[in-house]
Amino acid sequence: MAEYKITKAKETMTSRERVIRTFNFEKTDRVTIGYESNALIHYKLVRALGVKASQLPRTLGVDYIGAKPLYTGKRLFDEVPDRTVNREFGYRTRWIENSSGGGYEDYCDFPLKDADDEEILNFPVPDPDDYDYDALGEKIAANRDLAIYIGDPGFGDVINSTGMVMSMGDVFVNLQLEHEPTLEFIRKRTDFHIGVLERILTKYKGEIDFMWMGEDLGTQIAPIISMEKYRKIIKPVHKRFTDLAKAYDIPTLIHTCGSSSWVYEDFIEIGIKGVDTLQPEAANMSPQYLADHFGGRLNFRGCISTAGALSYGTAEEVTDVCKETLGILMPHRGYHFAPTHCIQDNTPVENAVAMYQAAHDFGLY
């Protein structure tokens, strides 16, 4: 028997209509809702709400779903003992358990760390044609009331994704030196991602509602790269994605962890429509700061911190934080209610339920 229940707000439009209108800063019936979580807390929520795992997003009121093609090509990277090796991209990880009984796949043994130029230039990148695009049609048709997005925070991501195979230290040194083999590897990955997205957009023209990409650009207190290097190396990559989205008349949302608002004017310039994550404890990332400086010019997704009341407070404190955040960001419209990252395993179930109930109770227009 279910321990908790989400009482949903009265709805007068479909999720797809809601998301499209939110991206256009238009009035909706309620705030748009998003959800990401670690596996353990996801399982706990499923059990507490008495639903199937596949039903949880709709139970919470989540408004969109991703359309990602399955890789059907050959394994590009060999297995390694005691490690998980990503067959497409070569990432190596090991499972690190946390004190809550869950855990993370931790990136390690970076295959391009201290690599020579030839190793970097010859590192495999998947072929966009080695994916099953036909199967996406069934998923889109089955979820047509929801908004459909393509991509994810790894698309367009230069620093993190390169660091996963090269190590963050080597990435920052090579970007600073404008190391040509590293830049060529970044171009090859970008070509691959653009190729995948373009094939989806062409095959399902008019069926895709927004594009999701990413680039972590800040620590908690400052940028992690200079504006000069961002504009010279990374911004042209980002512009390729926004240009593609514009060609198919869909908005682009970009994931940005840490203190990232220093680059938001450049995002606006190249046509990015929304920013995701928005950790309120990071410098110049509070809901009020974002609303004052970018309200009505950027969509905001996130701002409900997974490192604050959600994990360490009471359900009442979570409700108060959510109510306050909604009160600051909703007047500008363009707000997508969501956690700042995956809801963590140490989050009490009652806090996660309180978070989503607050969206339905206080997220009405």
Q: Give all domains of the chain, ordered by start, each with its CATH number.
A: 15-73+115-362 (3.20.20.210)
Instruction: Say yes or no to pLDDT of 1 above 80.
Output: no
Q: Kindly report, residue by residue over 92-107, the tens digit of the pLDDT.
A: 999 999 999 999 999 9
| pLDDT tens per residue, range 155-195 | 999 999 999 999 999 999 999 999 999 999 999 999 999 99
User: Residue 240: its pLDDT value, please?
Assistant: 98
- Cα separation, 331 vs 315, whole angstroms: 25
In eight-state DSSP terms, residue 149 is E
Kindly give the residue spans of alpha helices, DSSP state H, lying in 148-273.
Answer: 159-166, 168-177, 180-203, 227-229, 235-247, 264-270
Q: Give the pLDDT confidence of 269-289 residue by residue, as tens digits.
A: 999 999 999 999 999 999 999
pLDDT at 14: 98
Mean pLDDT within 50-64: 97
Average pLDDT over all residues of the chain:
97
Print burial letters for 232-247: b (CB count within 10 Å at least 16), e (below 16): ebbbebbbbbbebbee
Q: pLDDT band at residue 215, thresholds of 50, 70 and 90?
A: very high
